[in-house]
Amino acid sequence: MVYGAGAVGGVIGARLFQQGHDVTLIARGAQYEAVRDRGLRLDTPEESVTLPVPVVDRPSKVTFQPDDVVLLAMKTQDTLPALAELAAVAPPYIVVACAQNGVENERLALRRFARVYGICVLLPSAFSEPGVVEAYLAPQTGSLDVGRYPAGTDGPAESLAAAFAGATFASKARPDIMRYKYGKLVSNLNNAVEVVIGPGEQGADIERLAREEGEACLRAAGIDAAAGVAIVSRIRPIRGRERGGGSSYQSLRRGTGSIETDYLNGEIVLLGREHGVPTPVNDLLRRLANRMAHEGLQPGLMTPEEFLAALDGPAPG
């Protein structure tokens, strides 16, 4: 089961389905209706294919089996209600694997399920319209390293890694998967920069400052973060169209009303407050991105100069 069939979940589900795996998507609203009625279309730099992937609109529509795996692929702010729905109908021994950014989802899942796995996701993708997902890396679709939470590898981790590796992803079973997820967390601090400043090089200085704060907080907390993994792929256009911004940028563009910033930049703010490390850049990015999502604003609220000036005073209203 792939619970959350947006950009990341839709692409992972589509690739696994292409390789003959027994995949069911759990989707909502227009995405559920489109996939139910027309199938899931996967667009990549190398192909466009519509796949008849089974889809349901809630976990209670699934008949669970002992060896089932549930991949969580929703944004972190949606994980708690999703887990509550899942735990109400799924046996507690199923495998739950978090194909999500940030480092909070695994802790949330472990409260309800005993077998929890982290997946470090490197998958530039997009959810452009209902029923359509896009994957911009080729020839490998992305990287999905996996490990048991909080640490270790075992049969399910090895099996998941093998399934991903056979479905055009780079994937290894790693006993220290959270090191890689903390490393990915630091790179994801730029998501809010794309929202507040806009995508591209214009926000490079703000991104650098956010990363420096993040790295300082991890050091103070004694958290070892691994560098990103290398894959044999590059981002390529799809039918002449370049990928826009990352997942937070896409959330704002779609007007979802919520954003993941509290669990990315907000994770750094939390660590900073716990360990006495100032995090003004990440806190301002967090506050501004949340306000923009709440008010339905589009990316590019201010220039880098305006952002730096706001660090010395209240955020613009």
Parse the chain into domains and list their residue ranges. 1-175, 184-228+243-317
pLDDT of residue 186: 96
- Bridge partners, residue 234, by sequence: 138
Q: Which residue has the tokens 């490998």?
A: 140
Peptide bond preceding 150 in cis form (omega within 30 of 0) = yes
Provide the edge-to-edge strand list for the sheet that holds 169-170.
Answer: 55-56, 25-26, 2-3, 69-72, 95-98, 115-122, 142-148, 169-170
d(CA 115, CA 147): 11
What does the chain look like in DSSP terms, one character per residue? -EE--SHHHHHHHHHHHHTT----EE--HHHHHHHHHH-EEEE-SS-EEEE---EESSGGG----TT-EEEE-S-GGGHHHHHHHHHHHS-TTSEEEE--SSSSHHHHHHTT-SEEEEEEEE--EEEEETTEEEE-EEES-EEEEEEESSS---HHHHHHHHHHHTTTEE--B-TTHHHHHHHHHHHHTHHHHHHHT-SSGGGHHHHHHHHHHHHHHHHHHT---PPPPP-SEEE--BTTBPP-S-HHHHHHHHT-S--SGGGTHHHHHHHHHHHT---HHHHHHHHHHHHHHHHTPPS--S-HHHHHHHTTSPPP-
Which CATH architecture best describes the domain 184-228+243-317?
Orthogonal Bundle (1.10)
Give the N- to C-terminal CA distance of the chain in Å, as an integer: 42
pLDDT of residue 234: 80
Helix or strand or coil: residue 26?
Answer: strand
Token pair in block for residue 292? 């923009």
Angle between helices 204-221 and 265-275 (to 10 degrees): 40
Residue type, 138: A
pLDDT by residue, tens only, the chain of 317 residues: 999 999 999 999 999 999 999 999 999 999 999 999 999 999 999 999 999 999 999 999 999 998 999 999 999 999 999 999 999 999 999 999 999 999 999 999 999 999 999 999 999 999 879 999 999 999 999 999 999 999 999 999 999 999 999 999 999 999 999 999 999 999 999 999 999 999 989 999 999 999 999 999 999 999 999 876 666 678 898 988 888 788 899 889 888 899 999 999 999 999 999 999 999 999 999 999 999 999 999 999 999 999 999 997 655 54
Which residues are registered as beta bridge partners of 3?
26, 72
What is the rounded CA–CA span in Å between residue 316 and residue 100?
A: 31
Domain 1-175 superfamily per CATH: NAD(P)-binding Rossmann-like Domain (3.40.50.720)
